Amino acid sequence: MTADLMQFNLEGKRALVTGGASGIGFGVCDLLVSSGATVAVNDLETSHHLSTALDALSVHPGKSFGVAGSVADAASVKTLVETTAEELGGLDYLINNAATPNTPAPIPPSDLDAMTESFWDTIIQTNLMSVFRMTHAAAPYLKASKGSVVSTASISAFGGGGSSLAYTTCKAGLLGLTRELARGLAPDVRVNSVAPGMVDSNWQCRFGDQNTSARDTVPLQRVGSPQDYAEAIVFLAASANYITGETLTVDGGWRA
């Protein structure tokens, strides 16, 4: 971690981070564990990132353990959450970060033929329904702890330009879901989301030379790091006690 990152004292706090083994998710896990929290790191069972992530997190004062499973699988979500809560003795923070572009390169919105039923189903189940299912399953534990939920949306939800029409639509839906879950779980649980811009990570979908693009279009003239987004997510999860139902744009001023 760099010296200028936000500092939190989260000793005794318990978190579940989906898609936590790489990218923004790992940045969140790293900040939580280095702040003293105990973190359940979720990723796919087939992911080779999980053991590597846990090794990297082991140097911090907090504790971490892996909970493999697909958040797109409705049958496994309840088990995933219950197993985590049992291991942790409850739950304070749920970070809904897992998502997929389901494509290695952006698909233009004019290519409607690429938006097959199967493509839509993968995107919806992973990027939208998973947030509802995970939050629904975690709600009793979060209510008991007066906890919080933060989900990872996307700047594309505001103006398009995501990896596909389906991806952008689901991220726009996530903004509405955030607001309604905040209403539904109030006053016990706060629910917010973060909308990232460009991300320096191993995301499946590649958008060309992001560094050059950022210098030309982003006021801060750089691509956001996982740590940049982790700070915003942990701030909303662990602090910001009078903020709920909001989506915080974190994009270096791209939309300014």
Residues labelled as active-site residues: 167
Question: Residue 75 in 3-state DSSP?
Answer: helix
CA angle 13, 70, 116 (to 5 degrees): 135
CA angle 146, 151, 155 (to 5 degrees): 145
Which residue shows structure tokens 């709920």? 244
Pairwise CA distance, residues 13 & 32, whole Å: 9
Pairwise CA distance, residues 127 & 169, whole Å: 10
Please, which residues bridge with residue 245 across strands?
none
Those residues whose C-beta lies under 8 Å from the C-beta of residue 120, and which sit 6 or more positions away, are: 166
